[in-house]
C-alpha cells in the first residue's frame, strides 16, 4: 500500500514534469525546427546585386515595369539584361565573375535565367499593380534595393509557394483597412 | 523516475497542448489546402517577361489589328489593337483564336502526300519536286482557288497560275464577289466601301454588319462610338432581313423580310424617293424609274414581301430627310446573294446622292500590284467558282489538269457540297495549301501546310466593307511550331524550279515591295493621330514620311487613304434589276434562312476550340444542331419544341432539332452555319449538320451570277 501511494504521488509529479517537457518540446519543435523542415532553402542562379544597380540611379520600374493593363510585366528577359551585359568582362572581382557567368550561361546560350521569384501570386489571383501604385514597392516586397546579395529563397515543401508569397488574409486585412471591397471577384476573376 | 506509462501520457499530453500553441497544425492544414490547388495536371499560367506585339488577324475576314500578349516570347492572348482603324480595340471571336489555333490538333504538321486513302509525310524538297513535275506536265490547264480576299499572296498565286497556263483563278464566293459583280454591271470602278462613322441614318438590307459582314469589328466600334451609354444616339439604324440576328438585335428597327426579297424592298423604297422627286444624271435612270414605277408600288411590295406600306414610307422619309444616309446591302449569311439586290441597294445610294460622300459609299481604288503578270483583285472577284465547279462536275467545262487551293475549303464552304466534291474528284492533281486538315485538303494529292498568321509575313489590304483604303501588316512573332512554310515562299520556290520568273525570291520581299509602293501613293497616310473617317469628314490628312512606313506597320499602325476611283459611267444597271428583281407572290414553300457567326469559325479554320464553349444549348446540344422557327411556322408545319426533324434540299438530308424562336419571320427556317464538319479536329468534327449543303445553286437572271440566297427545303 505504501509503495503504491508513493508511486502515485511520484507518478503525478513525474507526469506533470513530462507534460511540461512535452509542452516545451513542442514549442521548440513548432517554432524552431518545424519552419526549417517545412521550407527548403534555395539561392538565385545569379548573384544579382540590386545595390550596384540602384547606386547607378536605376529605378525599380525600369526593369520591373508594368504592362498596359497594370499587370506586372514579369522579370527582365535575358535580352534586356544583355543590353548592358552582352559580353564577358574578364573582371575577376566577385561581381565581375557573376556578370561573366550570366553572359556565358544565358546570353550566349539564349536561355532565360530561372530567377526565383519571392512573391509570385497563385494563378487563380488577379493582381494589378495599377490599382496599388500609390504604395511604396517595399510595403509588400522585400527591400532588395539595399541588398548586394539576394536573400535566400524559401520554398514551402508542401504547397510549393515561396515563403514570401502574400497570403489571402494579408490581402484581405489590407483591403479592409483601406475600405476596399473584399468580394471574391475583386481578386479571383 | 523513468519513462513509465504515466510519464509517457504526460509527455504526449504536454506535447499535444504545446503543439496547439505552435504553427504546426494550423500551417499544415493551410498548406495542405493550398497543395490541393497545385496538382500537376492543373494548367499553370506561364511566367516570364510580358510584352505586347502588334500584327493583324488573317483568320478573321474583318482584318482587325491585333495586340498579341506574349509571356517570355510565347504568344498567349490576342486582343484588339486600339490604334488600328479596323479594330479600335475591338476583336472578334475568330481573331481572338489566332493564338489558340497554333496548337489546334487539326494542324497539319508537315508536308503530306496522298498514299491511297491516307497521307504520308514527305520533305519540302520532295514536295517541290513532285509539284514541279506534275504542274509542268499540266501546263496550259492549271486552275487556282483562293480563300483570302485581302492578301498580296493572290498576286503570287495568280501570276504563277497564269505563267503555267491558267484554266481559271477563282476567289471563294463572298460578299466581295457579289458586290464586285454588281459594281461591274453598274459600270462602276473600284470596291464599294461604306462610311459608317459619318453616316446618320443607316438602312441595312440583309447584311449582318455586326457579325459576319465586312469589317465587323470596326462596324461595331463605329456604332458604339455614335451611341454613348446614357446619351441620345447620334444616328438611326434600320435592319431588314429574315431574322432578328446579331445585327438586327441592336438596331433601332427590325423589318422582317425574306432574303430573296431584299431587292424588292429596296425598289419599294426607291418608289417613295422617286415620288418625292429624287433624280439622277447617271446612265439608266429613266429605265430604272420606269422599272420601279411599273411594279414596285407600296401594295406590290406588301403583296410580295409582307412589308407594310407605312413602314416603307417611313424608311424612305427617314433616308430622304437625313443629312448623311447610307444603304448597305448584303446576304444575311455572307454569301449567295445575287448581284441585283446589291444594285438595287446601291441605286438608293445614288438616288440619295451618297456616292463618294462622307457618310456614304466610297468607290475605293485597288492598291498597286507588285508581282508582274498577277490578276487584279477585281479580275479575281469576277470569276464564278460555283458555276465553274458545277460545269466541271457536269462535263460542260473541261476539268483542269491541276488545281492549287490556297486558304480555301470549297468542299465544305460552297453550296451543293456534294457536287463540288465530285468536281474536285475529276481534277487529277490537287494541291492544298491549308494549315488545317479540312474537307478539301483531305481530297487532295499534296497537302503543303501554310504557317499560321502568327508565324509568317502576310498582309491585309482593304477588306470588303471598309469605308477607306487600308493596308496592315501581318508579321511573324514566333518561329513555326510545326514543319510548315509560308505558302508565298513555297510558290516562289516552285516558280524557280520551273524556271518561271516572278521577280521575287521570297514572300517577305513581295510584302516589302508592296509597302514601298504604298509609300508613293498620293494621299496615303498612317492612321495614328488622325483616323481616315475624320479625313473623310474634312480633317486634313497628315503627310506620310515614306521611309518610316514599314516601321509604322510593324508597330501595328495601318496605312490608309481616303479616296475614290474615278467614275466615268456608273449607272443604274436597270436592265439587270428588271430581270432579276420581281415583286411576285410570297413563297409558299419553307425557305432556309442560314445565319453565320464568327464564333463558329470559317470553312478554313473550322470551329476554334475555345469558342465551342460559347455556343448555346439552343444551337448545339450534344452533337445535334438546332433549326429555329417561330411558333406560327411550327404550327403550320406541325413541329414541336425539341423534335428531331429531317431537312432535305439539293439532294441532301440533314438532321436537326427544333427550337421555337419568335425572332424568325414566318415561313423561314433559320439554321446556323459552321457546323457539320467531317474533317478538322474533335472540336469541329461531327458537331451537327452543314446546312449550307442543302442550298442549291441557281443562275441569277440578268447577271448570270450563281446565287443561293433563299433555298427551299422540305422538313419531315
Name chain A contacts of B24, Cβ cutoff 8 Å.
Answer: 26, 29-30, 34
Give B17→chain A minimum CA distance, Å. Answer: 6
pLDDT class of B155 with cuts at 50, 70, 90: very high
A64 is in an annotated binding site: yes
CA distance linking residue B295 with residue B270, whole number of Å: 12
DSSP string for residues in B617-661: TTTEETTEEEEEE-HHHHHHHT--TT-EEEEEETTEEEEEEEEE-
List the single range of A105-119, B83-97, B503-517, B624-638 with lowest mean pLDDT. Answer: A105-119
Closest Cβ opposite residue A73 in set B4, B23, B50: B50
Q: Mapping DSSP to helix (H, G, I), strand (E, B) and coil, where does residue B508 land? A: helix
CA distance linking residue B269 with residue B301, whole number of Å: 9
CA distance linking residue B605 with residue B681, whole number of Å: 10
Q: At B131, list the grid cell.
A: 509539284
Q: pLDDT (tens digit, 9 = 90+) per residue, B82-109? A: 999 999 999 999 999 999 999 999 999 9
Share above pLDDT 70 across residues of chain B, in percent, rounded to a whole number: 99
Backbone angles phi, psi at B676, to 5 degrees: 75, 30
pLDDT class of A5 with cuts at 50, 70, 90: very low
Q: Residue B166: in which H helix or E strand, if any?
A: strand B166-171
Query: What length is written for chain B?
Result: 716
- Alpha-carbon distances of A133 from A175, A187, B116, B472, B641, rounded to whole Å: 14, 16, 64, 36, 55
Q: pLDDT (tens digit, 9 = 90+) per residue, B516-549? A: 999 999 999 999 999 999 999 999 999 987 668 9
CA distance linking residue A58 with residue B480, whole number of Å: 37
The crossing angle, in degrees rounded to 10, of helices B309-321 and B262-275 is: 60
Is the Cβ pair A75, B12 closer than 8 Å? no
Hey, which bits of B201-275 come out as E strands?
201-205, 236-241, 253-256
Is the Cβ pair A73, B15 closer than 8 Å? no
Q: At B26, list the grid cell.
A: 494550423
Say what the pLDDT of residue A63 is.
Answer: 83
Q: pLDDT (tens digit, 9 = 90+) per residue, A28-83? A: 999 999 999 999 999 999 999 999 999 999 888 788 877 666 666 567 889 889 99
Higher-scoring residue by pLDDT: A95, B4: A95
- Whether residue B55 contacts residue B475, with contact meaning beta carbons closer than 8 Å, is answered with yes
Say what the pLDDT of residue A70 is.
Answer: 63
Give A18→chain B minimum CA distance, Å. Answer: 5
Is the Cβ pair B49, A161 closer than 8 Å? no
Q: Which alpha helices (DSSP H) does chain A contain, by range?
A: 2-28, 34-38, 50-55, 60-63, 78-82, 94-102, 168-178, 184-187
Name chain A contacts of B6, Cβ cutoff 8 Å.
Answer: 11-12, 14-15
Put simply, whether B28 touches A (Cβ < 8 Å) is yes
Is the Cβ pair A22, B10 closer than 8 Å? yes
Give B85→chain A minimum CA distance, Å. Answer: 19
| Residue B345 pLDDT greater than 80, yes or no | yes
Say what the pLDDT of residue A8 is.
Answer: 47
Higher-scoring residue by pLDDT: B37, B503: B503
Q: How much is the ipTM here?
A: 0.85
Instruction: Using CB atoms within 10 Å of the CB of residue A184, give its burial: 0 to 12 exposed, 13 to 18 middle, 19+ buried.
Output: exposed
Closest Cβ opposite residue A31 in set B22, B38, B49: B22
CA distance linking residue B354 with residue A129, whole number of Å: 50
Put simply, whether B479 touches A (Cβ < 8 Å) is no
Best of B49, B69, B83 to substitute, by most chain A Cβ atoms within 10 angstroms, is: B49
Q: Closest Cα to residue B544, out of B533, B530, B554?
A: B530
Is the Cβ pair B35, A159 closer than 8 Å? yes
A184 is in an annotated binding site: no
Name chain B contacts of A71, Cβ cutoff 8 Å.
Answer: 50
Say what the pLDDT of residue A3 is.
Answer: 46
Name chain B contacts of A31, Cβ cutoff 8 Å.
Answer: 22-23
Put simply, whether B17 touches A (Cβ < 8 Å) is yes
- Whether residue B341 contacts residue B266, with contact meaning beta carbons closer than 8 Å, is answered with yes
Is the Cβ pair B3, A120 closer than 8 Å? no
Say what the pLDDT of residue B218 is.
Answer: 98
Share above pLDDT 90 across residues of chain B, in percent, rounded to a whole number: 91
Q: For chain A, first and last CA: distance in Å? A: 73
CA-CA-CA-CA torsion sign (A74, A79, A85, A90): positive
Put simply, whether B10 touches A (Cβ < 8 Å) is yes
Q: At B193, list the grid cell.
A: 466601301
| Residue B146 pLDDT greater than 50, yes or no | yes
Is the Cβ pair A24, B10 closer than 8 Å? no
DSSP string for residues in B397-440: SPPPSEEEEES--HHHHSSSHHHHHHHHHTSSEEEEE-SB--TT
Mean pLDDT of chain B: 95
Name chain B contacts of A76, Cβ cutoff 8 Å.
Answer: 49
| Interface residues on A facing B, Cβ-Cβ cutoff 8 A | 10-12, 14-27, 29-31, 34-35, 38, 67-68, 71-77, 80, 112, 117, 120, 122-124, 156, 158-161, 167
What's the rounded mean pLDDT across residues B293-315?
96
Q: Closest Cα to residue B694, out of B656, B658, B648?
A: B648
CA distance linking residue B356 with residue B362, whole number of Å: 4
CA distance linking residue B83 with residue B75, whole number of Å: 20
Put simply, whether B26 touches A (Cβ < 8 Å) is no
Put simply, whether B40 touches A (Cβ < 8 Å) is no
Domain extents in chain A: 40-75+115-186
What's the rounded mean pLDDT across residues B444-471?
98
Q: At A105, list the grid cell.
A: 550561361
Q: What's the predicted TM-score (pTM) here? A: 0.88
What's the rounded mean pLDDT across residues B23-40?
91
| Residue A4 pLDDT greater than 50, yes or no | no
Domains and CATH numbers, chain B: 5-36 (no CATH), 50-103 (3.30.200.210), 112-175+366-450+485-505 (3.40.50.740), 196-358+571-577 (3.40.228.10), 587-715 (2.40.40.20)
Residue of chain A nearest B19, judged by CA positions? A26
What's the rounded mean pLDDT across residues B158-180?
97
Is the Cβ pair B52, A21 closer than 8 Å? no
List the single range of A109-113, B488-492, B555-559 with lowest mean pLDDT. Answer: A109-113
What's the rounded mean pLDDT across residues A128-132?
83
Q: Closest Cα to residue B558, out of B518, B522, B598, B520?
A: B518
Q: pLDDT (tens digit, 9 = 90+) per residue, B586-617? A: 777 789 999 999 999 999 999 999 899 999 99
Instruction: Using CB atoms within 10 Å of the CB of residue B479, give its burial: 0 to 12 exposed, 13 to 18 middle, 19+ buried.
Output: exposed
Put simply, whether B29 touches A (Cβ < 8 Å) is no
Amino acid at each position: 500500500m505504501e509503495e503504491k501511494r508513493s508511486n502515485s504521488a511520484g507518478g503525478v509529479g513525474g507526469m506533470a514534469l513530462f507534460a511540461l517537457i512535452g509542452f516545451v518540446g513542442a514549442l521548440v519543435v513548432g517554432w524552431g525546427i518545424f519552419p526549417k523542415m517545412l521550407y527548403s532553402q534555395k539561392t538565385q542562379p545569379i548573384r544579382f546585386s540590386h545595390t550596384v544597380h540602384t547606386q547607378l540611379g536605376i529605378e525599380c520600374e525600369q526593369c520591373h515595369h508594368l504592362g498596359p493593363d497594370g499587370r506586372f510585366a514579369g522579370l527582365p528577359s535575358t535580352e534586356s539584361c544583355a543590353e548592358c551585359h552582352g559580353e564577358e568582362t574578364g573582371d575577376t572581382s566577385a561581381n565581375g565573375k557573376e556578370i561573366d557567368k550570366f553572359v556565358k550561361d544565358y546570353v550566349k546560350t539564349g536561355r532565360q535565367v530561372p530567377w526565383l521569384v519571392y512573391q509570385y501570386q497563385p494563378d487563380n489571383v488577379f493582381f494589378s499593380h495599377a490599382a496599388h501604385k500609390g504604395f511604396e514597392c517595399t510595403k509588400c516586397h522585400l527591400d532588395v534595393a539595399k541588398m548586394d546579395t539576394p536573400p535566400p529563397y524559401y520554398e514551402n515543401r508542401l504547397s510549393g509557394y515561396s515563403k514570401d508569397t502574400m497570403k489571402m488574409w494579408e490581402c484581405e486585412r489590407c483591403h479592409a483597412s483601406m475600405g476596399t471591397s473584399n468580394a471574391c471577384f475583386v481578386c479571383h476573376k | 523516475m523513468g519513462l513509465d506509462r504515466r510519464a509517457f501520457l504526460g509527455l504526449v499530453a504536454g506535447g499535444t497542448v504545446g503543439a496547439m500553441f505552435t504553427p504546426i497544425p494550423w500551417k499544415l492544414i493551410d498548406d495542405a489546402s493550398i497543395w490541393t490547388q497545385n496538382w500537376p495536371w492543373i494548367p499553370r499560367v506561364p511566367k516570364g517577361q510580358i510584352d505586347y506585339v502588334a500584327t493583324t488577324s488573317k483568320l478573321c475576314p474583318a482584318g482587325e489589328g491585333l495586340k498579341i500578349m506574349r509571356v517570355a516570347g510565347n504568344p498567349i492572348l490576342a486582343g484588339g489593337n486600339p490604334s488600328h482603324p479596323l479594330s479600335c480595340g475591338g476583336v472578334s471571336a475568330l481573331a481572338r483564336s489566332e493564338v489558340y489555333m497554333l496548337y489546334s490538333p487539326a494542324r497539319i504538321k508537315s508536308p503530306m502526300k496522298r498514299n491511297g486513302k491516307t497521307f504520308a509525310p514527305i520533305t519540302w524538297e520532295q514536295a517541290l519536286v513532285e509539284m514541279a513535275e506534275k504542274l509542268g506536265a499540266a501546263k496550259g490547264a492549271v486552275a487556282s482557288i483562293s480563300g483570302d480576299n485581302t492578301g498580296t499572296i493572290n498576286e503570287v498565286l495568280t501570276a504563277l497560275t497564269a505563267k503555267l497556263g491558267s484554266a481559271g483563278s477563282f476567289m471563294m464566293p463572298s460578299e466581295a464577289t457579289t458586290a464586285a459583280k454588281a459594281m461591274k454591271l453598274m459600270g462602276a470602278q473600284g470596291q464599294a466601301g461604306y462610311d459608317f462613322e459619318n453616316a446618320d441614318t443607316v438602312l441595312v438590307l440583309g447584311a449582318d454588319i455586326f457579325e459576319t459582314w465586312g469589317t465587323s469589328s470596326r462596324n461595331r466600334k463605329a456604332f458604339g462610338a455614335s451611341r454613348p451609354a446614357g446619351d441620345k444616339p447620334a444616328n438611326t439604324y434600320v435592319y431588314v432581313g429574315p431574322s432578328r440576328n446579331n445585327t438586327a438585335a441592336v438596331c433601332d428597327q427590325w423589318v422582317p423580310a425574306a432574303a430573296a426579297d431584299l431587292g424588292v424592298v429596296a425598289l419599294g423604297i426607291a418608289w417613295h424617293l422617286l415620288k418625292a422627286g429624287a433624280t439622277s444624271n447617271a446612265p439608266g435612270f429613266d429605265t430604272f424609274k420606269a422599272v420601279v414605277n411599273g411594279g414596285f408600288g407600296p401594295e406590290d411590295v406588301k403583296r410580295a414581301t409582307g412589308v407594310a406600306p407605312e413602314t416603307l414610307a417611313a424608311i424612305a422619309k427617314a433616308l430622304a430627310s437625313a443629312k448623311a444616309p447610307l444603304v448597305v446591302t448584303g446576304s444575311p449569311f455572307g454569301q449567295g446573294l445575287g448581284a441585283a439586290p446589291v444594285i438595287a441597294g446601291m441605286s438608293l445610294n445614288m438616288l440619295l446622292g451618297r456616292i463618294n460622300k462622307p457618310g456614304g459609299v466610297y468607290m475605293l481604288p485597288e492598291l498597286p500590284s507588285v508581282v508582274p503578270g498577277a490578276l487584279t483583285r477585281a479580275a479575281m472577284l469576277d470569276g464564278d467558282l460555283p458555276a465553274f465547279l458545277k460545269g466541271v462536275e457536269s462535263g460542260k467545262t473541261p476539268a483542269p489538269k491541276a488545281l492549287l487551293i490556297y486558304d480555301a475549303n470549297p468542299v465544305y464552304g460552297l453550296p451543293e457540297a456534294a457536287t463540288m466534291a465530285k468536281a474536285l474528284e475529276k481534277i487529277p492533281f490537287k494541291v492544298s495549301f491549308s494549315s488545317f486538315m479540312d474537307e478539301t485538303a483531305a481530297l487532295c494529292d499534296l497537302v503543303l501546310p501554310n504557317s499560321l498568321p502568327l508565324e509568317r509575313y502576310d498582309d491585309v489590304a482593304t477588306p470588303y466593307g471598309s469605308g477607306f483604303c487600308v493596308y496592315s501588316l501581318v508579321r511573324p512573332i514566333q518561329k513555326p511550331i510545326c514543319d510548315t512554310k509560308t505558302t508565298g515562299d513555297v510558290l516562289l520556290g516552285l516558280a524557280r524550279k520551273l524556271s518561271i520568273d516572278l521577280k521575287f525570291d521570297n514572300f517577305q520581299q513581295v510584302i516589302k515591295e508592296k509597302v514601298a509602293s504604298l509609300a508613293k501613293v498620293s494621299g496615303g497616310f498612317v492612321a495614328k493621330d488622325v483616323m481616315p473617317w475624320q479625313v473623310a469628314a474634312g480633317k486634313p490628312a497628315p503627310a506620310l514620311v515614306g521611309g518610316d512606313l514599314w516601321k509604322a506597320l510593324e508597330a501595328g499602325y495601318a496605312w490608309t487613304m481616303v479616296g475614290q476611283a474615278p467614275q466615268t459611267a456608273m449607272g443604274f444597271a436597270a436592265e439587270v434589276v428588271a430581270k432579276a428583281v420581281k415583286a411576285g407572290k410570297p413563297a409558299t414553300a419553307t425557305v432556309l434562312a442560314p445565319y453565320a457567326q464568327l464564333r463558329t469559325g470559317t470553312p478554313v479554320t473550322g470551329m476554334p476550340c475555345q469558342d465551342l464553349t460559347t455556343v448555346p444549348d439552343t444551337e448545339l446540344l450534344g452533337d445535334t444542331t438546332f433549326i429555329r422557327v417561330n411558333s406560327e411556322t411550327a404550327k403550320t408545319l406541325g413541329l414541336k419544341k425539341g423534335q428531331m426533324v429531317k431537312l432535305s434540299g439539293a439532294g441532301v438530308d440533314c438532321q436537326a432539332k427544333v427550337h421555337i424562336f419568335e425572332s424568325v419571320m414566318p415561313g423561314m427556317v433559320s439554321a446556323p452555319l459552321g457546323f457539320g464538319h467531317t474533317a478538322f479536329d474533335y472540336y469541329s468534327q461531327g458537331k451537327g449538320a452543314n446546312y449550307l449543303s442543302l442550298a442549291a445553286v441557281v443562275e441569277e437572271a440578268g447577271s448570270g451570277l450563281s446565287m443561293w440566297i433563299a433555298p427551299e427545303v422540305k422538313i419531315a
